[in-house]
Amino acid sequence: MPADGHLVSRAPGGSPGRRALPPRTLVVLCPDWPATVALATTRGPRAGLALAVVEKGRVVAASPEARAAGVRPGQRRREAESRCPSLVTTARDRSAEAWAFEPVVQVLERFGAPVAVREPGWAGLAARGPSRYFGGEAALVARIGAALGRLDLPGRWWRTGVGDGSFVATQAAALEVLVPRGRGAELLAPLAVEVLERPELAEVLRRLGITTLGAFAALGEAEVLARFGLDGSRALRQARGLEEEPLGTRPPRPELSVSTGFDPPAETIEATRFVARALGEQLGERLAELGLACTRLRVEVVMAGGARLSRRWSSEGTVRAPVVAEWLRWQLEAWLGRREPVEAGTGEGAGAEGVRRLELVPEELVPARGRQLDLWSRPRADPERAARAVARVQAIAGPTSVVRGVLVGGRGPGERVRLVAFGDHSPGVPPAGAPRARGARPSARQGDAGQEAPWPGRLPPPNPAVVAVTPLPAELLDASGAPVTVDGRGAMSAAPAGLAVSGAPPLPVVAFAGPWPADERWWQAGRRRRRARAQVLTAGGCAYLLACEGGRWSVEASYD
């Protein structure tokens, strides 16, 4: 390498040329970001949980515990479950991944350089300016790692690397190293050609016996251009560590969070509630100036003793200042009275300390479209007034006193509905009007990504009108009065002729459909469940959804 820090290369066409090394770039890489987001939204203990995120029947990300058991991206779901019997699988939610990556980007933007985001889980920034300010690249990496470690995410989920250009920096992040200036080719040389993310080119190179980037970089540029075209020439420059593609940085977002401090600390809930309403109005004014509305809000409360309490609230419409004040009132009562666990911080002894700082952070923003009201009459419904009424009920009876139904994945009607507390964020449910991540499939607004996934044995439409909380015992009889059974192949022993519900006299069966067998968790001893469902119409005009399990029939639901 010449003393001036440049590499001499031969440009396409054979004429010699001088090409400067790419600028120093820092990359933060989250290899299993979908699994990290899924773990962060999992209710219950996270430690030791073997979790895999599945999309189109294949694993796309896995937790460290799942990887230790042999689960790898690209495996089919059943293969992964056979390797790890305790594996918990969840459907991929690209929208949730994009929203959860936003705090990571905001942390990186605090270091003074524009941030580029290719996809959730990858972010890069120019390292030259920040590294000079913080005393070198190693010091910059340490500061960024400390800032990322303060985010409320499970485990050590990020990797950081610095190199010449984004491609070298990405490979350096995967290995968590700092590549010295001009040494990118040495780092890339032993890597497989698949890291170029060009499957067709990698397949041809392997057929030619070229399996590493070092062997590929040794080829002549003119020969590569003639054989593989312009894209092959760009791949060759990447293999040599001479990538020239600039970072596509985004403009920094305005700071929208609002906060205030209490000196001395506020010891009454009413004082904190009054300030929360003022902060909510201040936040609303900022969003109105930008034409935005907030659908998900995070409240941060710092107690005088240092405990930090956090809670997220969601709204189908937009979060308003009066609703924020009511929510915060019952939330403080819950925290100070220890009626429910907190999301972050210990908060021990918080009731005697008082509140030192209050902060409102909007996490989900959508364009503010407003409401078109009638010209002469009052609106039929006032969502804000209803939300305030619900918040008052929660303040009196507790957060779980008001719940709403959310559609989730499942096979039976009772399995597809989950009740969540009003105002709580439902994992996988994007807010109204929220932008989807690039490549994400549209899903129903009231359901999570799991309900759109394939569920073998799922009940076909139409859905039943009434679902029994406790299934009613039933007897399904054939023409001779013998019980109808379902064999291991999912076939009925005879056509149903009569149905008796809860010991009542049998009613004639005029039509039936099914059965639809479902064999669940067959790979786990003691947790396997085999069921079959059927739809039955009786002579009285009543239609039922029946389930057969262990040779016994029961009524799961009924149709209108």
Instruction: Name the token pair of 143.
Output: 């500061």
Among 147, 355, 151, CA closest to 260: 355
Nearest alpha-carbon partner for 32 in 103, 102, 92: 92
pLDDT above 60: residue 397: yes
Provide the mean pLDDT of the chain: 76
Q: Is the pLDDT assigned to residue 10 strictly greater than 70?
A: no
Name the more confident of 393 and 537: 537
SS3 512: strand
Burial label for 152, CB within 10 Å (0-12, 13-18, 19+), is exposed
What is the average pLDDT across 197-217? 90
User: Does residue 367 carry a pLDDT above 70?
Assistant: yes
Can you give the pLDDT at residue 27? Answer: 92
The 51-55 sheet, strands edge to edge: 58-62, 51-55, 88-91
Q: Which of 189-203, 311-325, 439-453 has the highest mean pLDDT?
A: 189-203
Average pLDDT over residues 244-273: 74
Residue 178 confidence (pLDDT): 92
Q: Is the peptide bond before 114 cis (omega within 30 degrees of 0)?
A: no
Residue 138's pLDDT is 92
Token pair listed for 284: 């609303």
Q: Any idea which residue has 């796309």 for tokens?
A: 60
pLDDT at 423 over 70: no
Residue 8 has pLDDT above 50, yes or no: no
Question: pLDDT band at residue 280, thresholds of 50, 70 and 90?
Answer: confident
Please give the residue that has the higher pLDDT: either 475 or 269. 475
What confidence score (pLDDT) does residue 144 get?
92
Which residues make beta-bridge pairs with 535? 513, 545
pTM of the model: 0.51
Question: Which of the four pLDDT bands, split at 50, 70 and 90, describes residue 160?
Answer: very high
Residues 279, 267: Cα–Cα separation, whole Å: 18
Q: Who wins on pLDDT, 388 or 4?
A: 388
pLDDT of residue 544: 85
Specify the pLDDT at position 373: 53
CB atoms within 10 A of CB 304: 18
Which pLDDT does position 377 carry in this prediction?
52
**Mean pLDDT calculated for residue range 258-285:** 79
Q: Please spell the DSSP secondary structure of 422-488, one letter per residue.
A: TTPPPTT-PPTTPPPPTTPPP--TTB-GGGGS--TTPPPSSPPSEEEEEEEEEEEE-TTSPBP-B-T
pLDDT in tens, 51-109: 899 988 899 998 888 898 899 988 898 899 889 888 888 888 887 888 788 888 888 88
Phi, psi dihedral angles at 143 (to 5 degrees): -65, -40
Least Cα distance to 496 among 483, 504, 488, 505 occurs for: 483
Residue 349: what pLDDT? Answer: 38
Question: What per-residue confidence (pLDDT) applies to 288?
Answer: 77
For residue 389, the model assigns a pLDDT of 66
- Measuring CA to CA, which residue among 546, 557, 541, 555 is closest to residue 463? 557
Band (550; pLDDT cuts 50, 70, 90): confident
CB contact set of 414 (below 8 Å; sequence gap of 6+): 467, 468, 556, 557
The predicted model gives 131-146 an average pLDDT of: 91
Q: For residues 199-208, give the mean pLDDT.
A: 90
